[in-house]
Amino acid sequence: MRFAYSWLMEVSSLARAAIDQWHEAVSDKDLAAARRAAADPIVVSGPRGAARITGDQFADWIVRSGIEMRALTHHPVTDRVVVVEQHVRWPPSTDWTTLATVFRTSGDRVSAALRFPNLNAALDFAHMYVELAATEVP
pLDDT tens per residue, range 52-66: 999 999 999 999 999
Q: Which residue has the higher pLDDT, 68 or 9?
A: 68
Note the pLDDT of residue 73: 92
5: pLDDT strictly greater than 60: no
Whether residue 10 is predicted with pLDDT greater than 80 in this model: the reply is no
CA distance 94 to 24: 19
- Burial code of 101-123, b = ≥16 C-beta within 10 A, e = fewer? bbbbbeeebbbbbbbbeebeebb
d(CA 101, CA 115): 4
* CATH class assigned to 2-134: alpha beta
Domain boundaries, the chain: 2-134
Question: Mean pLDDT across the stretch 111-119?
Answer: 97
pLDDT cut 90: percent of the chain above it: 77
| Cα 63 from Cα 38, distance rounded (Å) | 15
Global confidence as pTM: 0.88
Q: What is the pLDDT of residue 7?
A: 36
Strand 68-76 and strand 49-53: the pairing is unpaired
